[in-house]
Structure formats: structure tokens, C-alpha cells
Amino acid sequence: MSHADATPAVERVEQNEHQGAPASRPLEIVFGVVSLSFSAGYLFLATQIPLRREALPGQIDARFWPMVIAVTAVVVSLAILAIAITRPAPDREDLDRIQPGGTMRVIATLAIAGAFIAVWSLGSVILFGYRIEVFPIAAAVLMAALLLLYGHRRWLSLIIYSVSVTAFVYVVFGMLLRIPL
């Protein structure tokens, strides 16, 4: 192999290979700011903890331990922020790179799960004079929606899988473990 085609080979290998997430200074700074504001918020709330009575001498009150944690967290967050601003961003090669469509998959999953929980919270509905339990229907629809979202396109296996998982959950948890689904 000549030297000229050695580089494309490396490139090709890299495309097929594990791709690390890119290092990013802005991201590190944002993380520093978020952790600092979270710690500061926690510190503020810790000073506001309502005490029903004064602590006895030598006893620590309900504020002491949260304050210790909060002050340490503020110091650590400041250090993280300072490092993020002054030093080059750390290598993130251990993490896989986010793939196109990945973020959408997560958001859609959350939305579907949220809708499922909202519908499930209804418990049961009265329809045409019958009391219908929502859970089995909602769970089967949840499974089918997720399978579709993740790219499953064969209808028969989609229905079989959704129905059988739902039936399994319903029998094991609803009937055997007697969890009020």
C-alpha cells in the first residue's frame, strides 16, 4: 500500500469505528454555570429551612449538614467553572457521539411516556355503559408507539409483541403480585 492511499484508509476506518463525542468548551462552561447556580440555590434554600426549635448546645440543627454540603458544592462548582473557562475542554472519547435523530428519539420517547402516564392516571373510563380499565389498552398502545418510533415496520410482529408484553405485565403484576395497575 502506498503512502497516498494510507490516509483514506485511516479515514474510512474512523468512519466505521467507534466515534467519540467531540470536546466542547462552551458545553463545559454551561455545565459549570448550571452546577454553580444549582449549588447556590440549594445553599439559599438551606438557610431558609424552618426550624421548629433551637438546637441544644452541642447539637447540630437541621440546617447544619445541608449548609456543609452546599458550601462545599459551591466551592467545587466554582472550581469546575474556572477550569472550564481557563483550560482546554477535556477529551470525551469515552462517550459515543450523538447520532442524527438521536435527540429526537429521546424527546419523542419522553413525550410518549408522558402521554401514557397521563392516560394511565385516569384509571378507568365508563364507555357505552361499560367500565373499561385503561391500563392494558394504554400499555399496548405505548409499546406499539415505541416500536414504531424505533423503526420497527412489520405490522404482525409489532402487534404480537405489544399485546404479549402487555398481557405478561398485566398477568404478572396485576394478577399475581396484585399491584393496582
Partner 1 sequence: MEGLNSLLDISILLYMLVGLLLGFMVGAFPGITATMAVALAAGFTLTLEPVQGLAVLLTIYVAANFGDRVPSILINTPGTPASIATTLDGYPMAKQGRAGLALTISAIVSAVGILASLVLFAVAAVPIASFARDYFKSPELFALVVFGISIMIGISSKSMLKGILAGLFGLMLGTVGTYAATADQRFTFGVLELVEGVNFIAVIIGLFGIAELFDQLLTYRKSHVRPISSLGRWWPNRAELKQSGRATAVGGAVGLGVGLIPAAGGDIAGLIGWERARKASKHPEMFGKGSIEGVAASDTASSATLGGSLTTTMALGIPGDSVMAVMIGSMIIWGITPGPTLFTNRPDLVVSIVGIMLVATLLSLGLSLVRMKGMVRLLDVPQPYLWSGILIFCIIGTYATSNSLSTVVTMLVFGVIGVLLKRMQVPAGPIVLGLLLGPLAEENLARTLAILPTRPFFEVVSPIAIVLLALAVLSIVMPAIRAARTPRAERGSLEDSILDAESREQIEKAHGELAADPDLLTSTVRNVDTSARAARKARKNSKENEK
- Interaction residues for partner 1, span 63-92 (CB under 8 A): 64-66, 69-70, 72-73, 76-77, 79-80, 83, 88, 90-92
List Cβ neighbours of 148 (8 Å cut-off, separation of 6 or more).
Answer: 158
Strand partners, 131: 126
165 CB-side CA count, 13 A: 14
Total site size for partner 1, rule CB under 8 A: 76
Residue type at position 44: F
Does residue 119 interact with partner 1 by CB under 8 A? no
Out of 3, 58, 126, 156, name the contact with partner 1 by CB under 8 A. Answer: 58
Report the C-alpha gap between 154 and 158 in whole angstroms.
6
Out of 29, 31, 33, 163, name the contact with partner 1 by CB under 8 A. Answer: 31
Q: Which phi and psi angles does 48 have, rounded to 5°?
A: -95, 0
Nearer to partner 1, 7 or 130 (CB): 7
Does residue 96 interact with partner 1 by CB under 8 A? yes
Does residue 137 interact with partner 1 by CB under 8 A? no
Helices (H) and strands (E) in the chain, counts: 6, 4
Out of 8, 26, 50, 129, name the contact with partner 1 by CB under 8 A. Answer: 50
CB of residue 128 vs partner 1: minimum separation in angstroms?
27
Does residue 94 interact with partner 1 by CB under 8 A? yes
Nearer to partner 1, 57 or 129 (CB): 57
40 CB-side CA count, 13 A: 8
Does residue 160 interact with partner 1 by CB under 8 A? no
Largest Cα–Cα separation, the chain: 82
Does residue 124 interact with partner 1 by CB under 8 A? no
